[in-house]
Amino acid sequence: MLIKLLITLLLCNIIAYSSALVSENGNPDPEPGIIRMTLTRQKTAFEQHLNNAPFLKKYGINSDWLYKKHHKPSPRTNDSIAMFRYLDNEFYGTVVLGRTGKSLNVAFDTAWTMSWVLSSQCNHFKSMGCMFHNTYDHDKSKDYKADGRKIVVPEGTYNLSGFFSYDSVAVAHSNISNFSFVEMTNVPNSYLFNKIDGIIGFGLQHDAYQPFFYALVDQKKIAQPIFCIYLNRQTVKPWWKHNNGFH
């Protein structure tokens, strides 16, 4: 994986350098041994299909709702979490783990029961997926409680590994105490390109582990055991700005 990444970066540098050799009149400099290739940006699946009126019409889908003004839902008594879109691929929100004041970008994932974050103990040289991410350092939190149980989570051809810990989690205006989660110390190298620093599991409970949403209900942080996701249609905003919510 690392070798493929380095080869890809090298090719991009070669192409960029070759493009810089084009003269002011738009004609390439007549230097032998130089090959110039044109790169075309591939549209995302969202742009090709869901946000493509002609494509939807082809399959008999009414796309008028794409261009109508959609009003935000009325204020709710429960808490709301701002979510952000990243490259039409990830939707993430921000939480604060422990009494450190450090924010972490997490995905609220209904496919995961367990919650986890990247640990400060993740070795960047052994696990490149931890690089350029916010990490959790339990030594800086007064609410941290050790657990120590190790865990290995298979994901495709690679395993995520780490250990369980306890700490407080601040989400929007709510704070959960003594929450059990995993500090990941080893993740796939591909995580290097992800925006998220971890996952808050919203899956159904099926063993002794208490998922995040169950902890919210158990500690009476929400009025009713209900959550929903709101996505707006403001496509003119840049990809890094707030464009949806988790309620």
- Averages of pLDDT over each 10 residues, the chain, 247 residues: 55 53 49 62 67 72 61 52 53 82 83 90 81 88 92 82 93 87 88 82 88 90 78 53 43
Shortest CA distance to 114 belongs to which of 171, 173, 163?
Answer: 163
Spatial distance between the Cα atoms of 93 and 76, rounded to a whole number of angstroms? 19
The pLDDT, as a whole number, for residue 63 is 63
The pLDDT, as a whole number, for residue 68 is 60
The residue whose two tokens read 């796939």 is 188
The pLDDT, as a whole number, for residue 173 is 76
What residues does CATH 2.40.70.10 cover in the chain? 81-246
The pLDDT, as a whole number, for residue 50 is 65
H or E element at residue 3? helix 2-19
The pLDDT, as a whole number, for residue 36 is 64
Fold of the domain built from segment(s) 81-246: Cathepsin D, subunit A; domain 1 (2.40.70)
Contact 199, 109 (CB under 8 A): yes
Q: Reduced to 3 states, what is the DSSP secondary structure of residue 100?
A: coil
Question: Which two tokens mark 208?
Answer: 């002794």
The pLDDT, as a whole number, for residue 181 is 95
The pLDDT, as a whole number, for residue 164 is 95
